[in-house]
Amino acid sequence: MTDGGDHGDHHEEHGSELSEMQLRVRALETVLAEKGYLDPAALDLMIEAYETRIGPHNGARVVARAWIDAAFRSALIEDATKAVQSFGLINRVGDHLIAVENTPTLHNMIVCTLCSCYPWEVLGLPPVWYKSAPYRSRAVNDPRGVLADFGLTLAPDTQIRVWDSTAETRFIVLPMRPAGTDGWSEEKLAALVTRDCMIGTGLPKQPNEVA
């Protein structure tokens, strides 16, 4: 909005509470609907899905299930797209999901060096830093440095493998199950699974970090 900066917020001067961007989006939506390119009801469903149903809690359930169910874990590594379908998640047409598993000697990390490709169906909307130029370039050139910025220091002999997402291929990291969680339910385990540990810029929470 091109209001005079000295005079504070003038969003109300046109009798509208909407920002310029919101007005533009609304205008575009109206034109597309009038021309028949867009079904407003379908759009509402998509927006509702992204606001309420889609988020990293889905990926957390997938990871927790893999931790307790060896057959599911194998299916996930084999074909993650197919394995997560059993969760009834919204699968974006054309996306191929690949699960990469951390081990005591291998740490996986995901990036999209070109733009911001991200496994929406399991992680929701990407964090701002994921789309930033520094993350996108440094994740490849200096993954250990990036992990240090996130407060994550791995053993020196742990290999770091960086996976570059594309429009067709998305990745989710399957982190190692924290020690001291024997006998935990899937729901309780899912509470340990953070968004960042599924991107590879973090680790799951420890048992003493959750109630």
In angstroms, the CA 76 to CA 92 distance is 17
Using CB under 5 A as the criterion, what x/- string covers residues 116-135 for binding Fe ion?
Answer: xx------------------
Pick 165 or 177: Cβ nearer Fe ion = 165
How far apart are CB 166 and Fe ion at their closest, in Å? 7
Select from 64, 89, 111, 112 the one that contacts Fe ion (CB under 5 A).
Answer: 112
Q: Is 115 in the site for Fe ion (CB under 5 A)?
A: yes
How many whole angstroms separate alpha carbon 157 and alpha carbon 93? 39
Please identify, using beta-carbon distances, which residue of 114 and 210 lies nearer to Fe ion.
114
As a three-state string, the secondary structure of 22-84 is: HHHHHHHHHHHHHCCCCCHHHHHHHHHHHHHHCCHHHHHHHHHHHHHCHHHHHHHHHCHHHHH
Catalytic (active site) residue 116? yes
How many residues interact with Fe ion (rule CB under 5 A)? 5
Among residues 171 and 184, whose Cβ is nearest to Fe ion? Answer: 171
Q: What DSSP element (H or E) covers 96?
A: strand 96-101
In the complex, the residues that contact Fe ion under the rule CB under 5 A are: 112, 114-117
